[in-house]
């Protein structure tokens, strides 16, 4: 551990410009607030390790730490940098010069891993173990700096800092081999700071409206429960699969659903199918109860997530989805329902914050189908987008052999479901289930589609063949997803891998494009000196908080940066809306 007087010289000697250092940040963090307690730093030389307690710093040492941390010319490597950035920012230090993040490096190398724990990665790639915090003994292969420090916490942190630097070097070659170097440097690493800022800012909430909505859904739950009891003449636990099985299949003698280890399934799809077949009032009430219960749980979670500043601060995760999509947690704002009127009401409680004029929602129109048109090179799809026609009406006219004006709502709905389904490996059987039509009709629909749009058919075949040959798929920006099960002897696993091979390039490219758009929008807002800011990213949508007098210029900026985030053979169409609430801002 360094004394305050030693800190400036140590940082100058071992953490100067040029050579990177591994950094471990210790501190406390709760929703919307936190602070740094200490830094562990490992430099190039094996004995260049230090532990700095922030509380022990004198003004000169604190200034030296701040200067090092915020200097873009002094490279730093973290493992999962975002929490460290958040803690440092709370103290007024905005870290710069972040040269690497070993969690992100490991994610790009093996995107299907469930976790990217530093200790596990150290064993896998460095063939050694970290110093365990619960034990003072040094097992074979662990690091011992022989510093004479009595503080186990300090020695553990320094062990982690050294591992971060060594792991970064070891993973650099792996990232290069996986084609991820440019993706890391140009997208994933710069995005860390943008996400940290979005998390810090959060989004304002009308708590009275939120509590009122929770009460509304609670009433809906109670009413649905009462209606369900009335329909069968007695009470039952509507959340118990076993009790529901008795009611549905024994008492009401309904058609059996799929058999599972615990009986016949009562999942949402099975119950929806049963209701279509029977139209029984118990099932109608049960489905209504499930919907209302889910919405009530969502609102309850949001109420608990409101911080002292009256805003909700979600946490974004970059290393969860193998396709490259961001995940949102605590609370999950990407999971707020939008398919029903009741679900969309939840967005009305997210409001523009004090001192700002409006919220702005900007999203891509049909981005995955546009990517499909680009990747497949299909002349028909490209023509539809370049002429500005309604895609699904255009496709419907080709598939059903009628004029675009004669495409009915039912026809349009069928081709829309099929067009999106193809990008996810939807089979004729799956399409028949989704549209509630016979399998033969679904197959004929798909055959006609492929006859008219041969480029899509050829692309879908080729992407699976290519993935089987090389073992992975790639997005437009080179993000790989490895699919070893394409060679599996197990047909079920092989079929699943083929569906992933179809989906990953399209969904992954969409995820890459929205990330590039976020970086571009944030960069332009900063460069232009705007007070407006990005608050949320939800799949293909960005939500911004607009400062007074900036609406038109920010809208122009957002449209330009989002529309120019990728070069496609078809235009990237961006929809923009504004309003006092998130729901009002939708378009």
Q: For residue 441, say if its preceding peptide bond is cis, omega within 30 degrees of 0.
A: no
- β-partners of residue 74 are none
pLDDT category of residue 180 using cuts at 50, 70 and 90: very high
Average pLDDT value for residue range 83-106: 94
CA 168, CA 19: separation in Å to the nearest integer?
Answer: 13
Phi, psi of 279 (to 5 degrees): 55, 35
Query: For position 143, what pLDDT does the model report?
Result: 39
Poorest-confidence range of 181-190, 298-307, 422-431, 465-474?
422-431
CA 359, CA 351: separation in Å to the nearest integer?
Answer: 7
Do 504 and 485 touch, CB atoms closer than 8 A?
no
CA 362-363-366 angle, 5° bins: 160
pLDDT category of residue 204 using cuts at 50, 70 and 90: very high
Examine the pLDDT at 350 and tell me if it is beyond 60: yes
pLDDT category of residue 149 using cuts at 50, 70 and 90: very low
Average pLDDT value for residue range 548-570: 97
* CATH classification code of 327-366+511-585: 3.30.70.370
Query: For position 30, what pLDDT does the model report?
Result: 60
Rounded mean pLDDT of the chain? 91
Query: For position 154, what pLDDT does the model report?
Result: 92
Average pLDDT value for residue range 198-220: 97
Contacts of 208 (CB under 8 A, 6+ apart): none
Domain boundaries, the chain: 4-200, 205-312, 327-366+511-585, 368-507
Query: For position 148, what pLDDT does the model report?
Result: 43
> 39 is written with which tokens?
């830094």
* CATH classification code of 4-200: 3.30.420.10
Cα 580 from chain centroid? 26
DSSP 8-state symbol, 217: H
Average pLDDT value for residue range 353-365: 97
Nearest to 378 by CA among 450, 445, 452, 453: 453
pLDDT category of residue 122 using cuts at 50, 70 and 90: very high
Q: Which CATH superfamily is domain 205-312 in?
A: Taq DNA Polymerase; Chain T, domain 4 (1.20.1060.10)
Between residues 272 and 172, which one has the greater pLDDT? 172
CA 357, CA 264: separation in Å to the nearest integer?
Answer: 53
- Using alpha carbons, list the distances in angstroms from residue 492 to 93, 237, 470, 487: 51, 35, 21, 12
Examine the pLDDT at 506 and tell me if it is beyond 90: yes
Query: For position 578, what pLDDT does the model report?
Result: 98
Q: Architecture of domain 368-507 in CATH?
A: Orthogonal Bundle (1.10)
Nearest to 225 by CA among 243, 241, 237: 237
Examine the pLDDT at 50 and tell me if it is beyond 80: yes
**Which is it for strands 472-474 and 259-260: parallel, antiparallel or unpaired?**
unpaired
């Amino acid at each position: 551990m360094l004394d305050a007087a030693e800190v400036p010289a140590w940082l100058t000697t071992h953490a100067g410009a040029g050579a990177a250092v591994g950094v471990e940040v210790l501190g406390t963090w709760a929703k919307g607030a936190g602070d740094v307690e200490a830094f562990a730093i490992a430099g190039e030389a094996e004995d260049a390790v230090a532990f700095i307690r922030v509380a022990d710093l004198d003004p000169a040492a604190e200034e030296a730490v701040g200067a090092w941390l915020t200097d873009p010319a002094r490279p730093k490597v973290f493992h999962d940098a975002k929490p460290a950035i958040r803690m440092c920012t709370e103290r007024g230090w905005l870290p710069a010069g972040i040269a690497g993040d070993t969690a992100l490096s490991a994610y790009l190398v093996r995107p299907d891993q469930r976790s990217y724990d530093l200790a596990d990665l150290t064993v896998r790639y460095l063939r050694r173990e970290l110093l365990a915090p619960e034990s003072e003994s040094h097992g074979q292969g662990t690091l011992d700096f022989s510093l004479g420090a009595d503080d186990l916490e300090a020695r553990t942190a320094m062990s982690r800092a050294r591992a971060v630097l060594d792991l970064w070097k070891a993973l650099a070659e792996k990232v290069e081999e996986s084609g991820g170097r440019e993706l890391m440097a140009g997208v994933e690493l710069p995005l860390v700071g943008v996400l940290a800022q979005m998390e810090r800012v959060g989004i304002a909430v009308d708590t009275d409206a939120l509590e009122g909505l929770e009460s509304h859904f609670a009433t809906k739950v109670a009413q649905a429960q009462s209606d369900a009891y009335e329909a069968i003449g007695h009470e039952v636990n509507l959340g118990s699969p076993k009790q529901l099985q008795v009611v549905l299949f024994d008492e009401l003698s309904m058609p059996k659903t799929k058999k599972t280890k615990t009986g016949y399934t009562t999942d949402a799809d099975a119950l929806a199918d049963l209701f279509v077949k029977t139209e029984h009032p118990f099932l109608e009430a049960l489905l209504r109860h499930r919907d209302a219960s889910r919405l009530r749980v969502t609102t309850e979670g949001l109420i608990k997530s409101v911080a002292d500043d009256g805003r909700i601060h979600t946490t974004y995760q970059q290393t969860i989805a193998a396709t490259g999509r961001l995940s949102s947690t605590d609370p999950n704002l990407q999971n707020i329902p939008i398919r029903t009127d009741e679900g969309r009401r939840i967005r009305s409680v997210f409001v523009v914050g004090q001192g700002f004029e409006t919220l702005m929602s900007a999203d891509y129109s049909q981005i995955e189908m546009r990517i499909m048109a680009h990747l497949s090179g299909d002349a028909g799809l490209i023509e539809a987008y370049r002429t500005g026609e309604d895609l699904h009406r255009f496709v419907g006219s080709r598939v059903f052999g009628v004029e675009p004006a004669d495409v009915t709502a039912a026809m349009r709905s069928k081709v829309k479901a099929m067009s999106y389904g193809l990008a996810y490996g939807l089979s004729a059987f799956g399409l028949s289930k989704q549209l509630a039509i016979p399998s033969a009709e679904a197959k004929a629909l798909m055959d006609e589609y492929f006859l008219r749009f041969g480029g899509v058919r050829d692309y879908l075949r080729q992407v699976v063949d290519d993935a089987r040959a090389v073992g992975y798929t790639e997005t437009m920006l080179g993000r790989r997803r490895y699919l070893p099960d394409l060679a599996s002897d197990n047909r079920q696993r092989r079929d699943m891998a083929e569906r992933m091979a179809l989906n990953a390039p399209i969904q992954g490219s969409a995820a890459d494009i929205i990330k590039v758009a976020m970086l571009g929008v944030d960069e332009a807002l900063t460069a232009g000196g705007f007070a407006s800011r990005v608050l949320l990213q939800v799949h293909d949508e960005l939500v911004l908080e607009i400062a007074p007098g900036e609406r038109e210029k920010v809208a122009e900026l957002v449209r330009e940066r989002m529309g120019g985030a990728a070069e496609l053979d078809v235009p990237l169409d961006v929809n923009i809306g504004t309003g006092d609430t998130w729901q009002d801002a939708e378009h």
